Amino acid sequence: MNYDLVICGVGGQGVLSIAWVIDHAAVEAGFQLKQPEVHGMAQRGGAVSAFVRISDAPIASDLIPDAAASMVLSVEPMESLRYVKMLRPDGWIVTDVTPLKNVATYPDTAKLFDVLFSVPRLIAVDAGALAHKAGTVKAHNVVMLGAAASLLPVPAALIEKHLRALFADKGERIVAANIDAFRMGDAAGRFTAALVAGGAPQGVVARVVPRLVFEPRTVPASVTAAWLERLRAPDANVAAARIFASTETLTLDACLTALSG
Amino acid sequence: MSERILLGDEAVALGAIDAGISAAYAYPGTPSTEIFETIRRHAASASPPIRGLWSTNEKVALEEGVGVSYAGKRALVSMKHVGLNVAADPFMNVALAGAHGGLVLAVADDPSMHSSQNEQDSRFFADFAQVPCLEPADQQECYAFTREAFDLSEKLQVPVLLRLVTRLAHSRARVTLSPPRAQNEARYVADPSTYTLIPSNAKRAYGRLLDKQAALVDYAERHPANALTLRGETCPGILVSGVAWNYLQEALGPRLEQYNVLRIGVYPLPVQKIRQLLDASTEVWLVEEGYPFIERYVSALGLMREPPIKGKLTGHLPRSGELTPDVLRRSFGLPVGESLQIPGLDDVLVGRPPRLCEACPHDDAYIAIKEAIADMGNDVRVMGDIGCYALGYLKPHQAIHSCLCMGASIGMAIGAAHAGMNPALCVIGDSTFTHSGMAPLLDAARENTNIKVFILDNSIVAMTGGQPTMATDEQVVDLVAGLGVPRERIRVVSPVPQKKAENVRIIRDEIARPGLAVIIARRACVTYAKVIKEHRRERKATPA
């Protein structure tokens, strides 16, 4: 088993913290690990990345070769596209949809999302909304870690254990909020993967999921089934575009009603 | 035996602690900073506690380390590659004097210049000084080689250089630690001639250094990290060093078994083993991270072509930038992987260079400087320096016109003024000023050179992650005055938006008056506000 992961975002978004948690979870699960990251000048609001290489055999190179990564996990939508050269053809992009526009040349967001949402294996969530609901607005990165968790070769329970360790000195309230943020992200990730696996059009799923508010637990199979039925309908893409454009967040039930309305 | 997940830098730090160091010295610089930061975190728990305070610059750090060695104890001195330029004087000379207690320099090179102004290769420095160089390939070797470097230093009485590169310094992996060793007892150098390099002594000291060379080569020849694998007389060969070995394994995979391979991890070069590789191979690839250091020796600057050498000098590998598995695959003529294709990607992806933080004091300093010189024509130049404020070169400010090396801004402004530049302006941060800006300012004060020096005092070493600065606030004023700048030409301004007009007026006034002036833009870094408060508390607790 070899699993290569690119984690990326902008300096200050907590990219290196996510890497730290995955590192410790992977090693506790018995894997070998190599994990290079960017320090120094780039951390001043520039593009930041960490590469995580997990294997059950010794790993030679710290760097990930092109087209070897199974996932790009990003805390910012444009940044998720920066490392596509490293992504396998069957790889996943897991990203927050909140643009961080600290450059004047930032692309038109409608165009950006059109390109991003065409990615065949994509989990897109609004990490800010979920972090806010979890009670810790800083936890975009932890929500994104959750969104990726079901695809990683590391048990979620071990990730949670090391999340607790990361925030241990900040007090139990912050720990609990981050665990909630992680679980909401996990629910969003699993829900997205289930919809895509069930045959819902990827472009439709990508536009709806970022507007959903998840609970810190897995979405029940019955709810997923109802969603699948609706999203397979021919007009679902129109409704999904409308819901994404509104930027309003909805519960799963409310959104299903809106999709049908 | 315990296992940890460690950056290469952290593995070096723990290796040094477990090797029984009594002190460590450093000046922050990417990618070496985390070595000393890790030592600082563990300093108090060592027995007796390890002394761990940042040094003023790398030269001072190394001299402090030499002093520890002189007294018989072990010291680790760490720095980035260009830091060794600053420390070159003590480095070249302590090679002659030798080490008494173990003395190891951990130097982190930055191929591809991720956070540096050049990609110089520190192996040349070790070679220049004729001291051994250990080049770990992975994090476990970072730990093991650091420990070994102290043994070697004490055994052969030489300082040892440990060469790291960014991708090792800043990459994590599992590292197994071994039981720590006790620190040395103090045991001063007995013979005062050893470290007193007046010519008569220096000649003997150089003789001793030359006499050690055979033992050093022998050490390298026998070292298991310099591993020769010969597979047959009709095979091509590869000579590979350091982290390049990792990329080579990734790039060639099982194809590696078709090559004779010599790995290098310990220098001076094991000449016998290299001879064996050359004799046995139809051609030899030179694969090394950094400059073509080994290649220059092996190919006699490219003059020696029998058997053919393929490397950076011959154009078979790229001459600049770091190696990667894909770079090597291309060089060896192998296909690289086809990644996911996303139509339209290039239209929606732009660069995101680093920038000054929101509400950064440097922003306001640059706004004021730019406005003050706005009506002086387009020919005004501002010499810049190393630190976050080097980002003032980029948009939106585009306010500085040079950035050469630590402290160069002031010296360059002096020279430019001598050449007729007026106004001759320069900016330098508080930590860069104490690192190597004070000496050129003394020059300017001595002559009352017509330059205006802006010291951007943000109370911290910000770019490398918030290390304490040597002097801030009134200490900077006192230093500047102590160097001979008249108090009335030292202007302290507060770079905040609401004081812009006043600051612009002060800058214009000082530019209009001939002679040396120092304008200190004093406001604490916003990003490290909390850390600065901690540093202030620490300063009060331990007064000078």
Nearest Cα residue in chain A from B338: A67
- B135, B123 contact by CB (below 8 A): yes
Beta strands in chain A (DSSP E): 2-10, 32-36, 47-55, 69-74, 87-96, 122-125
Summarised one tens digit per residue, pLDDT across range B238-247 is 999 999 999 9
Query: Taking 90 as the threshold, does the pLDDT of residue B491 lie above it?
Result: yes
CATH of the domain at B288: 3.40.50.920
Q: Does residue A259 belong to the interface with chain B, where contact is any CB pair within 8 Å?
A: no
Q: How many domains does chain A have?
A: 1
Let me know if residue A79 belongs to a domain. Answer: yes
Residues 177-216 of chain A whose Cβ lies under 8 A from any Cβ of chain B = none
Q: How does pLDDT run across B525-544, given as a tens digit for each residue?
A: 999 999 999 999 988 887 55
Q: Do B131 and B173 have their domain in common?
A: yes
| A248 within some domain | no
For an interface test with A, the pick among B249, B255, B348, B356 (most A C-beta atoms closer than 10 Å) comes out as B348
Task: Enumerate residues 63 to 92 of chain A having a beta carbon within 8 A of any beta carbon in chain B.
Answer: 63, 65-68, 78-79, 81-82, 84-91
Total CB pairs under 8 A between chain A and B? 169
Closest CA in chain B for residue A87? B339
Question: How does residue B119 score in pLDDT terms, banded at 50, 70 and 90?
Answer: very high
Last residue of a domain, one of B186, B202, B222: B222
For residues B271 and B210, give the distance between their C-alpha atoms in angstroms, rounded to a whole number. 17
Residues B467 and B453 in one domain: yes
- Tally DSSP H helices, then E strands, for chain B: 20, 18
Range of the domain at B130: 2-222
Same domain as B238, residue B206: no
Q: Considering the domain boundaries, does residue A220 fall inside one?
A: no
Are B218 and B232 contained in the same domain? no
Answer whether residue A7 is part of any domain: yes
Look at B352 and A46 and tell me if their CB atoms are within 8 Å.
yes
Please report, for the domain that includes residue B175, its CATH number.
Answer: 3.40.50.970
Q: What is the mean pLDDT of the segment spanning B108-127?
A: 97
Answer whether B174 sits within 8 Å of A27, measured CB to CB.
Answer: yes
Cα separation, B325 vs B334, in Å, equals: 11
Instruction: Say if A40 is an interface residue toward chain B (CB within 8 Å).
Output: yes
Per-residue pLDDT tens over the stretch A188-234: 999 999 999 999 999 999 999 999 999 999 999 999 999 999 998 88
Chain B interface includes A41 (CB < 8 A): yes
Task: Please give the pLDDT value at position B304.
Answer: 75
Position A42 scores a pLDDT of 64
Mean predicted confidence (pLDDT) in B282-290: 97
Q: For residues B86 and B56, is the Cβ–Cβ distance under 8 A?
A: no
In a domain, A228, yes or no: no
Q: Which residues of A touch B464 (CB under 8 A)?
A: 40
CA distance B121 to B138: 18
- The CATH number that applies at residue A165 is 3.40.920.10
User: Which pLDDT value is given to residue B289?
Assistant: 98
DSSP alpha helices (H): ranges in B234-382?
244-252, 271-280, 293-298, 325-331, 361-372
Amino acid at B114: H
Q: Model-level pTM?
A: 0.96
Which among A27, A45, A88 is the nearest to B5, CB-wise? A27
Q: Tell me how far apart the alpha carbons of residues B246 and A87 are, in angstroms, rounded to a whole number.
A: 20
Quick one: B466 and B510 in the same domain?
A: yes
What tokens appear for A250 in the block? Answer: 């909805």
Check CB contact of A103 with chain B, cutoff 8 Å: yes
Binary contact (A79, B352; C-beta < 8 A): yes
Residues B89 and B155 in one domain: yes
Position A261 confidence tier, pLDDT thresholds 50, 70, 90: low
The reply to whether A198 falls in a domain is no
Chain B residue numbers with beta carbons less than 8 Å from the beta carbon of A33 are: 5, 172-174
Higher-confidence residue: B303 or A102? A102
Radius of gyration of chain B, Cα coordinates, nearest whole angstrom: 26
Q: Do A59 and B342 touch (CB under 8 A)?
A: no
Q: Which amino acid is at B487?
A: R
Compute the average pLDDT of residues B328-350.
Answer: 96
**Residue A238 within a domain:** no
Q: Is B316 inside any structural domain?
A: yes
Span B310-324, pLDDT tens digits: 999 999 999 999 999
Local confidence band at B7 (pLDDT 50, 70, 90 cut-offs): very high
pLDDT tens digits, residue range A10-42? 988 999 999 999 999 999 999 999 999 987 766
Do B141 and B196 reside in the same domain of the chain? yes
Q: Which residues on B lie below 8 Å from A115 (Cβ)?
A: 342-345, 347-348
Which of B4, B116, B340, B528 has the highest number of chain A CBs within 10 A, making it the mutation to test binding with A? Answer: B340
pLDDT tens profile B140-177: 999 999 999 999 999 999 999 999 999 999 999 999 99
Domain that holds residue A111: 2-183
A44-67 tens-digit pLDDT: 788 999 999 999 999 999 999 999
B249 and B207 belong to one structural domain:
no
Q: How far apart are CA A98 and CA A95, in angstroms?
A: 9
From B481's Cα to the closest Cα of chain A, the distance in A is 32
Say if B86 falls within a structural domain: yes
Same domain, B163 and B311: no
**B479 and B512 in a common domain:** yes
- Residue B349 domain-assigned (yes or no): no
Q: Which of B44, B36, B30 is nearest to B386 (CA)?
A: B30
- Residue A43, pLDDT above cutoff 80: no
Q: A223 burial class (0-12, 13-18, 19+ CB within 10 angstroms)?
A: middle
HSE on the CB side for B503, CA within 13 Å?
23
Asked if A65 lies within 8 A of B337 by C-beta distance, the reply is yes
The average confidence (pLDDT) of chain B is 96
* Counted domains in chain B: 3
- Provide the pLDDT confidence category of residue A96 given band limits of 50, 70 and 90: very high
Tell me, what's the pLDDT at B543? 58
B156: distance to nearest CA of chain A, Å? 33
Domain boundary among B312, B331, B350: B331
Q: What is the model's pLDDT at position A45?
A: 81
- Average pLDDT of span B454-478: 96
> Is residue B309 located within the same domain as residue B385?
no
Residues B51, B144, single domain; the answer is: yes
What is the C-alpha separation between B115 and B512, in angstroms, rounded? 37
Q: Contact A65/B324, CB-based, under 8 Å?
A: yes
**What ipTM, to 2 d.p.?**
0.94
- Does residue A13 sit within a domain? yes
Nearest CB to A42 within list B172, B329, B354: B354
